Amino acid sequence: MSTSQLSSIRRGDGIYGLPFTPEEARFILIPVPWEPTTSYGRGTARGPSAIFRASQQVDLFDLQYGRAWEEGIAMLDVDPDIVRWNAEACAASEPVIAVGGDVEGDPELQARVDRVNVLSAQLNDRVGALTRAWLERGRIVGIVGGDHSCPYGAIAAYAERYPGMGILHIDAHADLRNAFEGFTDSHASIFYNVLTRLPSVGPLVQVGLRDVCEEEVSFIENSRGRVIPFYDTVIGERLCDGEPFNAIADEVINALPQDVYVSFDIDGLDPSQGPHTGTPVPGGLSFRQVTALLSRLRHSGRRVVGFDLNEVAPGPSFQKNDGSNGAHQDEWDANVGARLLYKLIGLTRLSQGGSGGARAPKMTAGVTRR
């Protein structure tokens, strides 16, 4: 496709500069600006809008997945109810988080916990209903968070449609805590909730874990193989022993069933790729390793049915020396997030029989481009 043709496509005002409306697009992205249970740093509620802005300069041809845009990509408008619920829930949760969730004997704090739990249940219902509605219309739905509690409703909807589906979970955290700090739908509890509430979900394969509690390790060990962890420390030791990463990636993929949902927390990456995420942890996967893992998933013949991307938080504003007035937002996190999101779309499309795969780039040894 010529540069002029691509330019005409990118005259739209949608995500990635595309012109598709939700009625025209195969891929529907649901923005969920939600973060009341984030327990360290906030900002991920601004993730969907930051990713939208950063997407405008992502090249539409991907070396791994080709023309991921061809069947249409559209991000829905932000639901004003979710914005309102988030504001109320954040205000209610702050005093609870300040005391580490210790609300015993304090009726006011307990009332705050209860209110957040009610609002979180409303969010789950709304996201689930939106996802089901678009799935029924033959679309593929992706969730753009927000904290990692955001996609629960979508996962529930996908589990109904694809019983036995597995989940590839990329994250620094296991998210297997029971009602963390009293919040039943905490970002730290989503996969506890998935596994205890959704019996049709198949194996949960977790990659990059490096910040877990004893409760979570016990949950994993007692899961009878329903949770399959690939701890970051073990991956690191295997790499140091000279094992190729692709061998580890194949082991991850082989643990998954035919239908796979991908749940991606940006803190699964090395913190240099998402430094402003709410709970950054040293270590993690490199961007190259993640793209290699997703590529191995594509070539395995498995079907990616849906996906989410969470915990992307834009950095603080800074004064840019370009002659313009006012501050500019640090968009490195969103830049990385927008590219990962595009790759998740491309992966899902090709795994479901889409065309337009990428040409393998030619490698020229001994040549340095300056």
pLDDT, tens only, 59-87? 999 999 999 999 999 999 999 999 999 99
According to the annotation, is 333 in a ligand binding site?
A: no
Give dist(CA 345, CA 28) in Å, integer.
Answer: 10
According to the annotation, is 211 in a ligand binding site?
A: no
Query: Residue 271: inside a domain, yes or no?
Result: yes
Give the percent of the chain with pLDDT over 70: 89
pLDDT reported for residue 329: 59
Task: Provide the token pair at 244.
Answer: 């190729």
Mean predicted lDDT score pLDDT of the chain: 91
Give dist(CA 68, CA 213) in Å, integer.
Answer: 38
Q: Assess whether pLDDT exceeds 80 at residue 2.
A: no
Query: Residue 286: inside a domain, yes or no?
Result: yes
CB 124 within 8 A of CB 87: no
pLDDT, tens only, 229-242? 999 999 999 999 99
Length of the chain: 370
According to the annotation, is 276 in a ligand binding site?
A: no
Query: Residue 5: inside a domain, yes or no?
Result: no
CATH of the domain at 138: 3.40.800.10
Radius of gyration of the chain (CA): 20
Neighbouring C-alpha atoms within 13 Å toward the C-beta of 273: 21
Residue matched to tokens 């500069």:
17
According to the annotation, is 270 in a ligand binding site?
A: no
Q: How far is CA 1 from CA 8, 13, 183, 359, in A?
A: 11, 21, 50, 13
pLDDT, tens only, 138-165? 999 999 999 999 999 999 999 999 999 9
Please give the sequence-ordered ranges of beta strands (E in DSSP) within 22-62, or none if there are none: 27-32
How many folded domains does the chain comprise?
A: 1
According to the annotation, is 173 in a ligand binding site?
A: yes
Query: Residue 359: inside a domain, yes or no?
Result: no
E strand or H helix at 167, and its extent?
Answer: strand 166-170
State pTM to two decimals: 0.92
According to the annotation, is 328 in a ligand binding site?
A: no
Alpha helices in the chain (DSSP H): 3-9, 47-55, 80-98, 107-136, 152-161, 190-197, 214-221, 232-240, 245-254, 287-299, 332-351
Q: Assess whether pLDDT exceeds 90 at residue 357.
A: no
Question: Which residue range(s) make up the domain with 86?
Answer: 10-318+328-351
Q: How far is CA 320 from CA 53, 275, 317, 329, in A?
A: 17, 19, 9, 9
Burial of 239 (0-12, 13-18, 19+ CB in 10 A): middle
pLDDT reported for residue 41: 75
Query: Residue 143: inside a domain, yes or no?
Result: yes
CB 349 within 8 A of CB 68: yes
Query: Residue 369: inside a domain, yes or no?
Result: no
Q: Assess whether pLDDT exceeds 70 at residue 320.
A: no
Burial of 205 (0-12, 13-18, 19+ CB in 10 A): buried
Give the percent of the chain with pLDDT over 90: 84
Query: Residue 358: inside a domain, yes or no?
Result: no
Q: Assess whether pLDDT exceeds 70 at residue 358.
A: no
Query: Residue 360: inside a domain, yes or no?
Result: no
* Cα end-to-end distance, the chain, whole Å: 27
